[in-house]
Structure formats: structure tokens, C-alpha cells
Structure 1
């Protein structure tokens, strides 16, 4: 995009993505790195961030859905890509033809991968996912013997190559949580069984962003950071981005659409949950919950206007919200930083997460499709 949008836009610094990937690789020097680019790279732009991550040394890319992975292939992204969120009848054949690694958590998925391999005349690259305690996707320990046995048989017939064994933490963002050690022990046991039965995976992996940053014994052959790639701390308990050696890649910005003087006692936005305490100046920010601004942050979300941090006055509406400038001057068109890099004095995604009672993952990922992305360092 040649011109900066004037309403609201997300400025994405691809140099920050590259720096973060390099910093995360230094945290796990004996492991390869998978940059997770699911959900449009956590709102940052999957294709652009995938390329930047590759340039910084990411050996793998990770997506949730097969459609996300196939879109990367369609954009010319080469190399290893793992996609893990499958449902029956998914695009298994296209995935095999595109040389994607597909995750298998149950017999039905292994069967569909084998059928796709037969239909295409190619070997399906399969990674077995173990449920070591998260209780979400993955194969339960009680079912592991059967799944491993079927995968070994599929390898023998040539329809499948098991390229990985992996799992996912439940509480890696809570240092010292007892489930961390229990899950690591379970993963080692399930991995050892698979290897004893003849599985020789290319990669064994379990470490997400917080584990990459804090749990070296979970790094195995591959680490799998997501949010940290984009310079956002995966948990306040672990430190700020700067303390973790990361730099936020996204700054959400807007231009003031209106500035006006109002008298004391003036209601602001729906429901008049905010009423001016005296004569003041209100400024209109033309972004709302349709753009990803959380309505739950009404009355609390911080923005930087005119060199000062202000807060949303009243409710966030679908397309706009208001800030009270408390009489300070401003002009239509002045820049508003909704969130960005706290090292520059800007509110952070974590600040908005606290204001909305959620996590920073949701703040960056929910930035809407009608918000243009402007790329720096591309």
C-alpha cells in the first residue's frame, strides 16, 4: 500500500518480526524454530510474516487450519509447514499434494490421510499429536498404543511417513505450575513408546512461546512460538516484551475524526456511562468493535493522543469511541496510537487486555479485516 490510510490502520514492522525470530532462536540454540502464523499471523498478516520469519531462520511454519497452510503455498511459501486443526472431510488430498505436514490425533484422521495418499499416489507426511494433559486435541495415553500401531502399519505400506511427535502445554505461561512437569513426563513416555515401536520422527516438539522463553528442557528438536514472534509477551508474569528481548511488531493507529468543546454534564456515547465533569474537549476516534476494539474495554481502554495517555470515555461503539482531552488542544487528523510499543510510551496490547479482562493474544488477533495493514521493512 502506497498511502497510509487515514481512518484506522495496523502498522506492521516486519523487521521486528525478524528480530524476534532471531531472539527466540537464541533462546533455543540447539532446536529448530517453527513460527506459528495461524489466524492471519495473530492478526499481523500471514504471508508477509511467514516470509519475514523464514528470512530470519524459521525452519518451519505452523498453522491451525489446512486452508491457512494451503494459502501460504498458493502465495509461493516453500519449506515445511504443519497444520493441525482437522475435521472429517477436510482437504486432505490437497494437503498431501502441497507437501504439507498434517497432524493426526485419532484413528479417523490417520485413515483420511491414508486415503488421500492413495488417491494422490504420494506419501502423506503425518505428525502424531499426544494429549499429555491439555485435554484438547491430541491422542489420550490410553489410545496411544492403537494409534502408534496403525501409524507404523501405514508407514510399512508406504502411504504415510511419520515426521513428528508433538504435544502442547496447558500452563506453560504459569511458571512452576505442577502440570508442566507432569506433561513433560507424559510426553517423554509417549514419545519413547512410539520410538520403541518403530517411529523415527524428524522432529519432536512441545514448546510454545512461554516454554520457549522459560523451559529449556522442553525444547526437544523444535520450538513452536506464536505470540512471541510478534513481540507480545505471552504472559505478564514472564515479563514485558522488552524484558524478554522482544519488540512489538504491530501498532494500531487512527486519526482523530472530530474535536469539539462541550459543556459540563454532557453525556458521552451510548447509555451515558460517562458524563463530563466540567467544560472539556472531546475527541472522536473512528474505530470500534467492528475493527477489533474490545467493547469490554469501554471506559478503560488507553490511547496515546497529543503525547498523553487518555482512556476511552463511555462505551466503545461499533465504529468509533470518544476520549476526553480534559481541555487540552487537538486537531482533526491528529494521530492516535491505540496500542503499540510501551518502550515508546505507547499503550500496549497487554494494557488493552487488562482493560478488557482478556489476554493480549485476543487483542492483536481480533483486529478486524476492514483494518488495513501497512507494512514496514518489507
Structure 2
């Protein structure tokens, strides 16, 4: 039996596709540098292999949410510029500074912890000041920006920090034409201008995420941060498929059929009997469930390619398994069931599962659990 057939399930990660996506995104970014965002284990694709492939294809920065994610990249031997932005009080500032990681600061408490840590390790910390231009999450409000900039400049004068970046994040870039996009760009330009007038000389100014990289060229500045687009998923399905943007999905999720059996008409399937067989039929058991990240919300709706046709999950998705009704068709245990992939073979896509679960494709790929091995190909 080959390795593919022997696995209960696998998430195949096409690194050649990821590198091609990086090259396409770089071209669309114009003269801006590209940050490959590999937070949340590279959106479920495997942070270290994906980060390495992205750098090979020309990404010049890596981005993570948590400092632990950034430190793991360094521990794996990855060089280059790494930035992380989701900090809480008492975080590993010293370790990040020692690992040459750029850190994000949204408020005075964080800047003061950075300054203290820099003094303890005797090194200058590289800091990006984040502006809240309208998203309302992390970032410094315009009213508080002068105080943060002034204290950052004072810290620069002592050698504790150097402000290497000024940045923000869009709220509605996946809705081109949304009035908040122009409004946020205007606020960002004003906040950058204020900081620069105060003496800040950033290496990079950045606000563009994946959708803005693809559809808002005036937002590119010095650096674009691409996350979901890196993995070949459209950040704005209403505007185009991955192929429309020159991208290719990187993950293919499949499983080996665990059991095939004949059942009579009127047979209840899975918990609650929300599906009963309309006639005598053949059932296939797929050994993936919500513990593996298959959304229970997609019960009765999730699409699966089995035995040459796209079927629908029959009944509820359970913790470890679900059933599909083959409607009398035959297959064998060990046959491949493909939940999603690029769509080349007629298989569903992550976007199809997002529609079935009333969510976004970001969540579909990111939630695939650790019981599913990532098999990286195209290295």
C-alpha cells in the first residue's frame, strides 16, 4: 500500500503553488516589499516549510501574530526580517529582541516594556508603531498618537529602540469601494506624516493586507502584508476566484474511505437521524470530523468528491467521522475522498466548504487540526 493510501487523512501542501503565488503577489505589489504572513501555523499549512518557500520566492519579511510564533521561526533557522504584532503585558520582549525580531507597539505600556527589555539585554529594539485608523482593534487612536510618538522618539534618542515601521490594518479592504478604505488611507497618511515630522524615519510604512494588495494599489506604500492570498485563496470571492487573481490553492484535504456498506431504505444516518436513506443505497464512511476541523455547521451540506462524483455529507458531522451517501455507486475501503483542493479534478474548494458552513475560507483551512498530517510537496 502506498503512503498516501495508508494515511487516515492528509493535508497535502503544494509548496510550488505557494512560491508561484508569492511571485504573482510580488508582481501585483509593484515596487513594495512583500511580507509573507505565516501566523496560525501558516493558516494551517505549516509555518516553517511555507515560510522557507515564501522567502525562496522573494518575500523579504515574515509576519506572525504572536511572539511565540516568531520565535519558533528563528528556532527553525529562518533568517531575514520577522515581525510579530499581538502582545500582552509581560510577553517575551527580551527573547524577541535577542532573536532580532521586529515588534509592534500600539500603546505606551508596550513601548515601556520594550524599553525596559532592551535595557536588560543591552540591544536596540526594532519597533513598528501601529495606528488605529478605523478598524477598532489593536493600534493607537489618533488622539493618543502624539504621546506615543513623542515617547518613542525619546526612546530612540537613548538608543533603546529604533522605529523601523509605521503601520495599520484595513477593516473592509475585501469590499472594494467601501468608504472606510479611503477614510482609513487618509487617516494613515496623516498619522504617518505626523510621526515623520516628529523625526521618525521608518524603513517601511504598511497598511495593505491581501485584499488591498490585489485591489487597492494606492495602499501599497513600502510593504504589503499578504496572508490568505499567499495560500491561493481569494480574499474577496465576490470579486473573483483564485484563478482570477492569478493564484492557486495550496492545500488539498483528503481522507481514505474507512468503510463501504449497503443499507436499506429508511436507514438513519449519524446522530439525530437528520438524514435517512430515501432508498436502498451504499454508504461510505469518511474518517474526519469536527475534532479534525471539519465544521459541524456543514452537516448535510459539506461537499466531498468520492467515487468520481461530488457528494454531500449525509447527516451530522461527528467528532471523528462523517458519512456520504453514494446513491448506489460503489467504491472500496481505502479509496480517496477529497474534501477540498484547487478544483482541478472536479473536487470542491475551500470556498465551497465556507459556503456550506456559512463562514469564510480563511477559517476552513486554518481550523484543520493537528491530527491531520501536513504532507509538503514541491519542496
User: Normalization by structure 2: what TM-score?
Assistant: 0.99
Q: What are the superposed Cα offsets for residues 58-89 of structure 1, whole Å, 9 maximum, x if unpaired?
A: 00000000000000000000010000000000
Alpha-carbon contact 1:69-1:100 (below 8 Å) kept? yes
Shift, 1:344, TM fit:
3.0
1:123 equivalent to 2:127? Answer no
Give the secondary-structure state (helix, strand or coil) at the position aligned to 2:344. Answer: helix
1:212 equivalent to 2:213? Answer yes
Query: In the alignment, which residue of structure 1 is the partner of 2:39?
Result: 38
Query: In the alignment, which residue of structure 2 is the partner of 1:326?
Result: 327
Shift, 1:6, TM fit:
1.8
**How many residue pairs align between the two structures?**
377
State the distance in 1 between where 2:96 and 2:311 align.
48
1:307 equivalent to 2:308? Answer yes
Give the secondary-structure state (helix, strand or coil) at the position aligned to 1:237. Answer: coil
Q: What are the superposed Cα offsets for residues 245-277 of structure 1, whole Å, 9 maximum, x if unpaired?
A: 000000001010000010000000000000000
1:19 equivalent to 2:20? Answer yes
Query: In the alignment, which residue of structure 1 is the partner of 2:133?
Result: 132
The 5-angstrom pairing of residues 150-189 of structure 1 reads 150-189=151-190
Query: In the alignment, which residue of structure 1 is the partner of 2:149?
Result: 148
- Runs of 4+ in structure 1 deviating by more than 6 angstroms, as ranges, are none
Q: What are the superposed Cα offsets for residues 124-146 of structure 1, whole Å, 9 maximum, x if unpaired?
A: 00000000000000000000000
Alpha-carbon contact 1:264-1:276 (below 8 Å) kept? yes
Query: In the alignment, which residue of structure 2 is the partner of 1:3?
Result: 3
Query: In the alignment, which residue of structure 1 is the partner of 2:271?
Result: 270
State the distance in 2 between where 1:94 and 1:238 align.
42
State the distance in 2 between where 1:239 and 1:194 align.
37
Give the secondary-structure state (helix, strand or coil) at the position aligned to 1:344. Answer: coil
Unmatched tracts of structure 1, length 5 or more: none
Alpha-carbon contact 1:107-1:147 (below 8 Å) kept? yes
Considering only aligned residues, what root-mean-square deviation do their CA atoms show, in Å?
0.8
Unmatched tracts of structure 2, length 5 or more: none
State the distance in 2 between where 1:319 and 1:235 align.
31
User: Normalization by structure 1: what TM-score?
Assistant: 0.99
Shift, 1:343, TM fit:
3.4
Give the secondary-structure state (helix, strand or coil) at the position aligned to 1:236. Answer: coil
Q: What are the superposed Cα offsets for residues 284-330 of structure 1, whole Å, 9 maximum, x if unpaired?
A: 00000000100000000001111210010000000000000000111
Give the secondary-structure state (helix, strand or coil) at the position aligned to 2:347. Answer: coil
State the distance in 2 between where 1:238 and 1:91 align.
40
Give the secondary-structure state (helix, strand or coil) at the position aligned to 1:10. Answer: strand
